[in-house]
Amino acid sequence: MHVLRDRLTALVIVLGLLFAGSLARAQGYDAALAGFAKDSFSDTETAINAVAASGNPLAAEVIEALQDGRLLFDPNDKKVYVRKKSGEMVDAATGRAVVGTPPAGLKPVRLNNRLRRAIDAAMGALTLLSPDPSKRYDAAQAVFKARDPDALKTVDAAIAKETDARIKRALTEARAAIVLNLSDAPAADKLDAVSVIRERGDQEARGLLAGLPANTPDQVKRAAADAISSIDTRLAMWDLVQNAWYGLSLGSVLLLAAIGLAITFGVMGVINMAHGEMVMLGAYTTFVVQEIIRAQNPALFDYSLVIAVPLAFLVAGACGVLIERSIIRFLYGRPLETLLATWGLSLIIQQAVRTIFGPSNRDVGAPSWMSGAFELGGITITYNRLWIICFTLAVFFALQALLRFTRLGLEMRAVTQNRAMAAAMGIRTARIDALTFGLGSGVAGIAGVALSQIDNVSPNLGQGYIIDSFLVVVFGGVGNLWGTLVGAFSLGIANKFLEPVAGAVLGKIAILVLIILFIQKRPRGLFALKGRAVEA
Amino acid sequence: MKAPLIRALDRASTTFLVVLAAAAVIVPLLNLAMPQNSPWYVPTYLVALWGKYICYALLALSIDLIWGYCGILSLGHGAFFALGGYAMGMYLMRQIGSRGVYANPILPDFMVFLNWKELPWYWYGFNHFPYAALMVLLVPGLLAFVFGWFAFRSRVTGVYLSIITQAMTFALMLGFFRNNFGFGGNNGLTDFKDILGFNVQADTTRAALFAISCVALMLCFVICRAIITSKFGKVLVAIRDAEARTRFLGYRVESYKLFVFVLSACMAGVAGALYVPQVGIINPSEFAPGNSIEAVIWVAVGGRGTLIGAAIGALVVNYAKTYFTSGALAPYWLFLLGALFIGVTLLLPRGIVGTINHFAAERRHRAAIKAEPVPRPAE
């Protein structure tokens, strides 16, 4: 009996406590909501913080609605409503849908910039505990930027619960950012915070450390100054890496455009001014393939480039064979005439494409695996550039292998080294000439597929590359594919390192002048052939 | 030994000079003296157009001198042409004075627009005509000298030279497109008012410019003829045909090439300087590599290494260009131009004048054989 009474008493007390607690919380939330109906900015701000602190499950929804201008209040009875994205009206206090027609004369709660910051901070704190990891991460970043001291407790709670290492680091950084801006935090905590921020080491971290409040203790300020200089070094290093990456990327584009020329000009010695137009034909092949896929079978769109590569090779290669048979074979040994004839040819091809496809840029889409980017340390790498570098290297090595290991490659090398002897050994030199030229043109076509992803597909596409390509081949050394590789990448990297110093156009001019001077110094290029081959 | 001038002028050259001199007199006369409704009246726009052709002919002549006689194929001669044009354009800009849109007595409009406070140093002196005229020769000549000095000394020849001359004009084009280069950027120099106190737009000025262009073409033609008929010219042809052998014979090949290259660049500069007041604008697109190659094809069409042919080729191709691009046939002009490049190199490698000369020489040869039978070989 005694026991029973005790238990009953305990039960009553517990129930009572529970009831009182929930009542108090409900009251806190309701009182906070009433703040929105007062139509004053400072009351709204208090309300935002109170709602965020209330722990009510509706809090996140209410604040999100406020952010989007979907939080409304009735000026007469001071009740607050949320209009859901679906348009449905919900009572903000209970979360239940409004029965019947919503009251007339509802006004949205007004916002200003200070309130928007408060909202961001509140949302950050509220979503720190969200079950969705990417939301938690974003929230941690938001808190890092807002540095709202009120969020400190939530951040601590979130750190304690967090299991994902990346988010935990972001949370720790957010906490450090808050601590650095607290006036009453102990110096030791602040020093820890500085070292955490130093670890982060990006532009924002630098900004945070540079803008410490005035009352920060001296030792913390010293640590911060130290951290800033270390971050600066780090940023400068990443800048360097970034430039090198851009340079590699530009180099791969140059290599791609020049590699076909390295065959026709470098190996055969034919000046093909229509080389750029072969690139352009490749790009237009990609366009046509994508158009057909869009019309016939959109599901294949992601494979459009894979389909376009062999087709572009065939189209440009066939054109190349045709050109060789109809024009170039009559002009062997007369390089200046070849130059003029192929220039005329390039005018004709450009004008033909302009007549068929129109003079404006054509839209070539990117498949899903080529769009987007990822972060590597301090730099952003886009997938299309990465793929183009890989693709370029693949084409380069495939071509090397073809020349080195196949019968066709052997015959090509034989004909270019000693035509008469090759003919005497039974090689049909005329056929090899046509095939070699077709190969060079086909590779240019493949380049067009890749360049369609980063350049405008217009009839003038090829013109932009022709001078650069010749310079790469001449710079790298004629008759040597490795020279072309080294030439393209060194020109690309030099260009990108000059650009921040001299500006884009002046950088390009400087490169041109440097190459002109270089050709004066070494007329046969970086990797010159030696011995008798020079005179050939 | 005949005097160099007499030696330079064979029958064809004299005819060419006489025709040019006649044009220089008759065309302005028909424009100025004839009443507008007369069938003989030549409208002013035609005078300006033909004046432009004559300037192109002079450019072609300068290319033929180095390509036809020394084997230097420059794909950057448009750069020298444009530089001469810019030098003249700068003089014309300074002559506008306070009549510009912004009425600044010193600064050209585009500098006021760019908020420049004072004239850049390289614009000094261009308000004097003699200085500008000197610069027309000096700037292209100096560039050609520096460029040729490096190129010929390190024995950059053939297509390599062609490609770096192309890169040179390309680099200049990029530079002149920039606003802070101080040459009007994209828009170039235009809105000219006066030349030597005469209104650029006036009929009399146009006629005089046409006559001056003809005289300049005649002068340069005589200079070229004098060079190629001299001993110096024979060495140039030797360099064209076998550079290494000429060098081994003890000639300083680089110096010969450099001299003729600089001379040719100066001629191109003069052509550009005469071109600008007649066309009324000079902008960076004149540096475009395509223009230089087009000028080379004029020479090829007319006949490489014939001088007269170069001038005729420039006139023919440009007349065809005007004819085609001003009518319904405009979209086909590039097809025709392209076909011209291919056709001339494949089918007519001697060009128009070269082919005529060739047949004439063969006929003379045959006539000579007929007149004097070949001695029967000894049994």
Cβ atoms of B290 and B157 within 8 Å: the answer is no
pLDDT of residue A532: 46
Model ipTM over 0.90: no
Position A520 pLDDT exceeds 50: yes
Smallest Cβ distance to B345: which of A331, A350, A513?
Answer: A331
Instruction: Tell me if A341 and B339 make a contact (CB, 8 A cut-off).
Output: no
Position A344 pLDDT exceeds 50: yes
pLDDT of residue A528: 59
Q: How far apart are CA B4 and CA B1, in angstroms?
A: 9
The interface residues of chain B toward chain A in range 58-77, judged by CB-CB distance below 8 A, are 73, 75
Task: Pick A237 or B59 by higher pLDDT.
Answer: B59
pLDDT of residue A114: 81
Position B55 pLDDT exceeds 70: yes
Q: How far apart are CA A76 and CA A99, in angstroms?
A: 18
Residue in this structure with the two tokens 């003919």, named with its chain if needed: A423
Average pLDDT over chain A, rounded to whole?
81
Most confident of A115-124, A185-194, B155-164, B352-361: B352-361
Q: In degrees, to the nearest 5, what angle opens at C-alpha B161 toward C-alphas B160 and B164? A: 85
Question: What tokens appear for A345 in the block?
Answer: 């040819």
Position A24 pLDDT exceeds 50: no
Q: How far apart are CA A312 and CA A448, in angstroms?
A: 8
CA distance from start to end of chain B: 42
pLDDT one-digit tens code per residue, A59-96: 777 877 887 888 888 877 777 888 877 777 888 777 77
Comparing A371-375, B213-217, B305-309, B360-364, the range with the smallest average pLDDT is A371-375
Percent of chain A with pLDDT over 70: 90
Give the DSSP per-residue string, A115-182. HHHHHHHHHHHHHTT-S-HHHHHHHHHHHHHH--GGGHHHHHHHHHH---HHHHHHHHHHHHHHHHH-
Position B1 pLDDT exceeds 70: no
Residue A266: pLDDT band by 50, 70, 90 thresholds? confident
Mean pLDDT, rounded, for A321-336? 89
Task: State pTM to two decimals.
Answer: 0.75
Residue A533: pLDDT band by 50, 70, 90 thresholds? very low
Query: From the CA of A242, how many Å to the nearest CA of chain B?
Result: 26
pLDDT of residue A112: 82
pLDDT one-digit tens code per residue, A448-499: 998 888 888 999 888 888 888 888 888 887 777 888 899 899 988 888 888 8
Question: What tokens appear for B340 in the block?
Answer: 């011209």
Mean pLDDT, rounded, for A245-263? 88
Position A20 pLDDT exceeds 60: no
Cβ atoms of A60 and A53 within 8 Å: the answer is no
Question: What tokens appear for B173 in the block?
Answer: 């084009």
Residue in this structure with the two tokens 């020329």, named with its chain if needed: A261
Query: From the CA of B329, how many Å to the nearest CA of chain A?
Result: 13
pLDDT of residue A7: 61
Give the torsion through C-alpha atoms of A190, A191, A192, A198, to 10 deg: 110
Question: What tokens appear for A107 in the block?
Answer: 């006004």
Give the torsion through C-alpha atoms of A483, A487, A489, A490, to 10 deg: 130
Taking contacts as CB-CB distances below 8 angstroms, the residues of chain B near A340 are 293, 296-297, 300, 341, 344-345
Burial class (CB within 10 angstroms; exposed 0-12, middle 13-18, buried 19+) of A351: buried
- Look at residues A174, A217, A177 and name the one whose alpha carbon lies nearest to residue A194: A177
The interface residues of chain B toward chain A in range 137-176, judged by CB-CB distance below 8 A, are 147, 150-151, 153-156, 158-160, 162-164, 166-168, 170-171, 174-175
Position B67 pLDDT exceeds 60: yes
Cβ atoms of B87 and B132 within 8 Å: the answer is yes
Which chain B residue has the Cα nearest residue A470? B163
pLDDT of residue A10: 57
Residue A531: pLDDT band by 50, 70, 90 thresholds? very low
